[in-house]
Amino acid sequence: MAKKTLIQYVCQNCGAIYPKWQGKCDACGEWNTILEEKTANEGFSNIKSTNKGHKIEFFDLNGVTQNLERISTGIKELDRVSGGGLVAGSVILVGGDPGIGKSTLLLQACASIANQASNPECYYISGEEALDQVRIRAKRLGLEKSPVKLASATDIKDIIVTLEKTSAKVVVIDSIQTMYLEEAESTPGSVSQVRACAYELIKLAKKKGFVLFLVGHVTKQGSIAGPRVLEHMVDTVLYFEGERGHQFRILRAVKNRYGATDEIGVFEMQDKGLAEVDNPSALFLAERQGNISGSCVFAGIEGSRPVLVEIQALVSPTGYASPKRAVVGWDTSRLSMVLAVLEARGGLNLSSQDVYLNIAGGLKISEPAADLAVAMAIISSLTNRPLPSDMVIFGEIGLSGEVRAVSQPSLRLKEAQKLGFKSAIIPSQYKKDSKLNSAEISLHEIGNVQKLINWFN
Ligand code: TYD
Ligand code: MG
């Protein structure tokens, strides 16, 4: 059958397909991300018409399974995020803004694995940088002596033919958006190319049993496809985030078939590469100044680890018809909800006030457990009364103004105790929990928003 080429319109952000061009993607809501792409009508799997298919076998759930072989990267934070080491044959997508440090992290990981006693073969294939650029980076990181095998290539066929003949343990493709497969007729970086290239590489990784890292840039412009179009094809999705102005970088697992999600690894970008941060709480609180209104410490949990962060709020009379709300590191709609509850249930007047909220240190928090700390910071700024600097806070706020219990209170309190905090404001549901009372921290239980406001009087 002759190969027919179809034209379709594909959103470069989320991969949604449309028969006609349109300005806005209905699926993800992004503007100007839809591009024309050619695609072969038979798909990527090249199903031959002569193949009638085979009968598949079914097994019991309780069969014997082998323990997963895990390769330690020698970078504790990366091991933690990947669920305790890299699983042979797994595919890991590392997404993040350009310049955030993806190449640096993966070069460090590659070098660290290649240096292990068993001499695992590690391949670093760069489609973005010339050999010299990678070499200069390796020198800067002090890794130039590591036996990493380095290549600069973009043709997927060449890469696959080469890797077929090796006994690779780890392969890094930096980045998937620069790779090119001739058969997939569209331009490099488009959704069809990115998917087709990833598909071929993943097939090989599963067959040969090597760990495959795919680097994917996050992009807003839509001229190259974002990592989201690959998320369902890979085993693990890690996002590398951080604020440009800060040296902290956070590696977050958003999907992991071999471990827990929401786990974070914390790094610091130094002049000699990424350094691991063992105690993130101490780091996030390092620049905190005591006795200032609008600031409080939230005892949060990121994955399996407690993390204390400073929450800062600034409330000031507005000069606009509708007051401003600006948020860094937290959810804007969650802030609106907390403000609405404080107004409706607590009787505070915030509609004539601008509210600014900042999570210090560049961490992004998504836990509802931060509600109470956010509310405390706002009331503290509004009333201009500082909170005790040795106090931590956690708890969720419901729409009727009640303060709700959150998970793992003892883990949060233990971390606070370790860092020298003396008191905590917590939801009142824990009264019967004797485990909490044994802590060396004095506990103040708060049942609703009204009590929280009274606390300042
Ligand atoms: P890079 O790993 O190239 O980012 P990505 O691959 O995500 O695009 O990181 C580049 C940035 O990191 C660059 O702005 C310089 C900075 N950097 C350091 O601060 N220290 C270092 O040792 C290295 C190698 C890079
Ligand atoms: Mg890079």
Q: Which residues line ligand 1 (CB under 6 A)?
A: 96, 98-104, 137, 140-141, 269, 271-273
| Ligand 1 atom closest to Cα of residue 102 | 7
- Per-residue pLDDT tens over the stretch 6-57: 788 988 888 889 999 999 989 888 888 888 887 755 544 554 566 778 899 8
Q: How are strands ordered across the β-sheet holding 121-126?
A: 149-152, 121-126, 168-174, 211-217, 91-96, 236-241, 248-256, 264-270, 273-276
CB atoms within 10 A of CB 137: 18
| Cα 118–Cα 124–Cα 125 angle in degrees, nearest 5 | 150
DSSP-assigned letter for residue 66:
P
Q: Please tell me the predicted confidence (pLDDT) of residue 179.
A: 93
Nearby residues of 182 by Cβ (< 8 Å), 6 or more positions away: 155, 157
- Per-residue pLDDT tens over the stretch 311-332: 999 999 998 889 999 999 999 9
Enter the pTM of the model. Answer: 0.81
Task: Return the axis-axis angle of helices 131-140 and 102-114, rounded to nearest 10°.
Answer: 70
Give dist(CA 327, CA 335) in Å, integer.
8
Give dist(CA 429, CA 426) in Å, integer.
9
Give dist(CA 219, CA 17) in Å, integer.
18
Distance 270 CA to ligand 1 centre (A): 9
Beta-strand pair 70-71/86-87: antiparallel
Of the candidates 158, 141, 71, the one whose C-alpha atom is nearest the C-alpha of residue 103 is 141
Continuous segment of H or E residues that includes residue 369 = none
Query: Is 50 exceeded by the pLDDT of residue 92?
Result: yes
According to DSSP, the residues that pair with 211 across neighbouring strands are 170
> Which residues hold their Cβ within 5 A of ligand 2, which is an ion?
103
Confidence of residue 59 (pLDDT cuts 50, 70, 90): confident
- Nearest residue CA, atom 2 of ligand 1? 101
Distance 240 CA to ligand 2 centre (A): 12
